[in-house]
Structure 1
């Protein structure tokens, strides 16, 4: 898959205006802007439309829908993600329950042969804080473990509203400390998708506040970085998602559901009148000056992309190295679909490469 690198504002127009190929051009456009690596849909289509692989599942959004905030209904829609096992070597897969730091947490381990003895990637699956299951990311994480030669841990953290904020964060801290202190792994990398990315960031922040060793890097897949900005128009501007005319209704209706999701997530995750702009809840409003190097992956039509771009700009402003990759044609939650979407396969490769090269 070929690469084109350019910047967050005016992406389509800039592409038409000039081929960004020289280091000189890149440097001229990097000042106060987010550098992005953007991958096209395929060799024939750069972007500006949903991938044909996704479009059949998105046709239902051609008519307006309302997000149902009934928990039973929300969870009933959580089907296991369609994916395939692409590994070609023996990976030890182990399920265990740990008791550490006053928490009892179940998890899944993926341990490749000749795994780095000091490094572990700890992952939190998405699901809006109230849903999702570790099976969704099983094949993706197994593939990342094989390609990176790093142990990967899939955390089955407790879900809201039965275990509201900050329980999932405490679970993540317990797992992180278990691998650091009980098992002696010196280098942890925290990772997650969507709400799981939010939890991973909060775990890292809390580890630091409590005086423990923090992550050497973060790997974030379209993370939720704010639960407090429903009315911030700059973060919900559909004009920032240019699309072909025939797909405008799908984009708009799908986007409206995501816009409603903040309120639904707050309803179930925050049970005790917590401030939704607090740094452990909305990392977008955090002081990120001490955050580690970050890989951040999004889809072109992921409606959390704008908040993720703002978060990445904040990291960049504090000299944190940010590798921001955008997969054109993709919507939210595409990455676990390894073996089904070529973009998911490529994202797993990018994550593995990043993890392997972090020291």
Structure 2
């Protein structure tokens, strides 16, 4: 069953007209973010990191901290759009609720930078943060990796890379929001929600054609890899999302592999709802529940 506020939003979205185009999508999403999402909460720290290998925004409810973990966030957008401007409000909300520093990363986008540029960027920035750069102004004792949609792919792939070739500090947890995990598998939700639920089949095809992944590569379809030994996870899916079933499959795969995992599903909600909190107010407790679980998971490490 669809939620009333979700239906109200979908009723306002015009049908797709013509083939998508990367530049137009990026501009429309930047403009839309200010309309459909909540204002950014005030934080003590909000500044770009000048020495980071990629454009990276530091968000923190505190001005000064003792050594502790840091959340590195990889934004969604099909590897084609999205960035600091589209995800800043949600990332700031995470920093506020988790009481952790959040690093929101602007990685290279397709089609200008096709696969594996994004996942290469993700591993590079994670290793840089793990090294405890002086610009952060505090020691780093562990990484929390997180991402939404395509950023979920990057989170898993980076966690695998740092499991197999450890960085200077461990990855202590992962947070996956409506993640893309598998380009090979065929899932019922892909057919059931192919049209009329924000993320369409045509859009998914466009993103994949732009990114040009090698779908059999574990760095494009991490569900095809070994999940054993990955860090504890919080996974949040949307009940009316084409990616729902691959998110469920990832959570189930982690549990089967013995990885401590907390799973939530926002029943009646759609893909990317965490970026639509003004338009879909019922999304606020969905996201808050997942963040509360992550905070409990990280526990005394902060």
Is 1:302 equivalent to 2:241 in the alignment?
Answer: yes
Please give the residue correspondences for 1:96-115 in structure 2 after superposition, counting only pairs within 5 Å.
Answer: 96-99=49-52, 104-113=53-62, 115=65
Q: Does 1:85 align with 2:35?
A: no
Moved more, 107-116 or 191-200: 107-116
Q: Is the 8 A contact 1:194 1:222 kept in 2?
A: yes
Q: Which residue of 2 aligns with 1:319?
A: 258
Aligned residues: 288
Question: Deviation of residue 256 (structure 1)?
Answer: 10
Q: TM-score, normalised by structure 1?
A: 0.72
Query: What's the CA shift for 1:214?
Result: 4.3
The CA deviation string for residues 92-142 of structure 1, in whole angstroms up to 9 with x for no partner, is 11112434xxxx300111122264631111101111101112222212221
Question: Contact (CA 8 Å) 2:195, 2:201: kept in 1 or not?
Answer: no
| Aligned Cα root-mean-square deviation (Å) | 2.6
1:87-166 matched pairs, under 5 angstroms: 87=41, 90-99=43-52, 104-113=53-62, 115=65, 117-166=67-116
Counterpart Cα distance in 2 of 1:166 and 1:156: 15
CA distance in 2 between partners of 1:149 and 1:134 (Å):
20
Instruction: Measure the CA separation in 2 of the matches of 1:54 and 1:92.
Output: 33
User: CA 1:152–1:309 in 2, change beyond 3 Å: closer, same or farther?
Assistant: same
Identify the match of residue 289 of structure 1 among 228, 235, 248: 228
Structure 2: 5+ residue stretches without partners = 134-138
Tell me how far apart the structure 2 counterparts of residues 62 and 339 of structure 1 sit (CA, whole Å).
Answer: 19
SS in 2 for 1:325: strand
Change in Cα spacing, 1:340 to 1:199, as seen in structure 2 (3 Å) is: same
For residue 202 of structure 1, what is the aligned residue in structure 2? 157
Cα pair 1:227 1:262 within 8 Å, conserved: no
Given that 2:235 and 2:290 are in contact with CA atoms closer than 8 Å, whether structure 1 keeps it comes out as no
The CA distance in 2 between the partners of 1:67 and 1:115, in whole Å, is 50
Q: Secondary structure at the match of 2:46?
A: strand
Larger radius of gyration: 1
Give 1:260 deviation, angstroms. Answer: 3.5
Q: What does residue 18 of structure 1 align with?
A: none
- Partner residue, 1:223: 179
Change (3 A) 1:66 1:279: farther
In the aligned structure 1, how far is the partner of 2:252 from the partner of 2:85?
Answer: 32
